Amino acid sequence: MNFDHVLVIGFGGPEKPEEVRPFIQEVSRGFNIPEARLKEVERHYEAIGGRSPYNELTFKLVSQLEESLKRNRFRVPVFVGMRNWRPFLKETISEIKKRGFKKGVGVILAPHRSEVSFERYLKNVEEARRAAGAEEIEYKYLPSWHAHPLFIQAQAELVGKIYDPLTAEEKSSTHLLFTAHSIPVAMAGKSRYVEEIKESCSLAARALQVSHWSLVYQSRSGSPREPWLEPDILSVIKGTGFKTVLLVPIGFLCDNAEVLYDLDLEANEAAGKSGIRYLRAPTVAGHPKFTALLTELIGEFLVAGGG
C-alpha cells in the first residue's frame, strides 16, 4: 500500500491569553509540578504577550510544505496534530480515519532526538490512534535530518544575514552561542541527543567559517537536585568575555515561549547587564531550504511507495 497522507506532529502552543493556563496544565499533565512553577510559566507568557506564535508558524510551514509538494508532483494531503494543544493528535487522526486514509508519513518537528523530543511523540501518536479507534492507520517516520545539507545551509544563511555584515573587528569580538533545550543528563545518556546537536553546530560553524562558538543549553525546568545538560546559557553569557554574542537557536525549529522569553528577554537582559551586545538569529522553519528538506525526505518515502 502506498503512502496516502502526511502527518506533521508538533508540540503546540496557546494562541491567546485565556488559553495559557489550560495549555500549561495540558503540558504538565501526569507530572508532579508545583503550583509555583506553573504560575512562573504563566508569567513568562504574560511577558511575551500572552500567546505563543508556535501554532501560527507551524501552520505557515505546513502551507509552504503543501505548495512545495505540489510543485514536485506529490499530491498528498498534509495534516497537523499537536501533542499539547489544538488541533490535538486524537482530533487529527480521527479526521484522517474519517477520510479513509491508511498509511502516512510522520514528520516530528524536532531536529535532535531524545526521549522527550522523539520517542514521546511516537508514544503520543500510538495513544491517539487507539483513542480514535484508528489502529489500522500506519505511520513511517522521517529519518534524522540534523546533519542534512539543507538544514545546515538554512541555518548558516540565517546566521550569515546577521554575521556577514559585521566589520572584521566586530566579527573578532563576536561569539556564536548555539543553543538547545536542556534535558536531564540521564535522559541524554540514553540517546544521541548531545551528539546530534554537536554535529549540527559543528557543520553550521564550518559553513559560516566561524571559529568563535560554543554549545549552550537553556530552559531547564526540572528538580535542582537532578543534573541537567550544561553549560547554562546565562552563565556562559556572563563569562564569555566577548563584546557581542550571537545566539543561534539551533535546537528550535520555530519561535516559541522558550525562544521569546528565555532568549530574547532573559538572555538579552543578562547580556545587557554584562555590557555585551545581544544578537539572535531567526529560527529555521520559515527558510525555503528547510521546506525543501522536508519535501525531499517526504518525497523519498512517497516514491518508494511501501517504504
Annotated domain spans of the chain:
5-144+287-304, 149-284
Q: Rounded distance, CA 2 to CA 307, Å? A: 8
Average pLDDT value over all residues in the chain: 96
Predicted confidence (pLDDT) per residue in 48-73, tens digit = 999 999 999 999 999 999 999 999 99
Fold held by 5-144+287-304: Rossmann fold (3.40.50)
Q: Rounded distance, CA 256 to CA 32, Å? A: 23
Question: Taken in order 129, 76, 250, 259, is the CA torsion positive or negative?
Answer: negative
Q: Rounded distance, CA 289 to CA 296, Å? A: 10
Contact 129, 136 (CB under 8 A): no
Closest CA to 265 of 226, 218, 210: 218
Cell of 112: 535532535
Predicted confidence (pLDDT) per residue in 130-155, tens digit = 999 999 999 999 999 999 999 999 99
Task: Examine domains 5-144+287-304 and 149-284 and report if their fold is the same.
Answer: yes
> Does the 149-284 domain belong in CATH 3.40.50.1400?
yes
pLDDT tens for the chain, 307 residues long, are 699 999 999 999 999 999 999 999 999 887 778 888 899 999 999 999 999 999 999 999 999 999 999 999 999 999 999 999 999 999 999 999 999 999 999 999 999 999 999 999 999 999 999 999 999 999 999 999 999 999 999 999 999 999 999 999 999 999 999 999 999 999 999 999 999 999 999 999 999 999 999 999 999 987 788 999 999 999 999 888 899 999 999 999 999 999 999 999 999 999 999 999 999 999 999 999 999 999 999 999 999 874 4
Helix (H) or strand (E) segment spanning residue 259 = helix 257-260
Amino acid identity, position 235? S
Helix (H) or strand (E) segment spanning residue 80 = strand 78-82
12: left (phi over 0), alpha (psi -120 to 50) or beta: left
Cell of 258: 522558550
Residue-wise burial string across 133-158, b where 16 or more C-beta atoms lie within 10 A, e elsewhere: ebeebebebbeebbebebbbbbbbbb
Neighbours of 124 (CB within 10 A): 19
Burial of residue 101 (CB within 10 Å: 0-12, 13-18, 19+) is buried
Q: Rounded distance, CA 34 to CA 72, Å? A: 49
Any idea which residue has 480514535 for its cell?
132
Residue 225: partners with Cβ closer than 8 Å, 6 or more residues away: none
Nearest-10 Cα torsion for 143, 149, 152, 158: -120
Amino acid identity, position 154? A
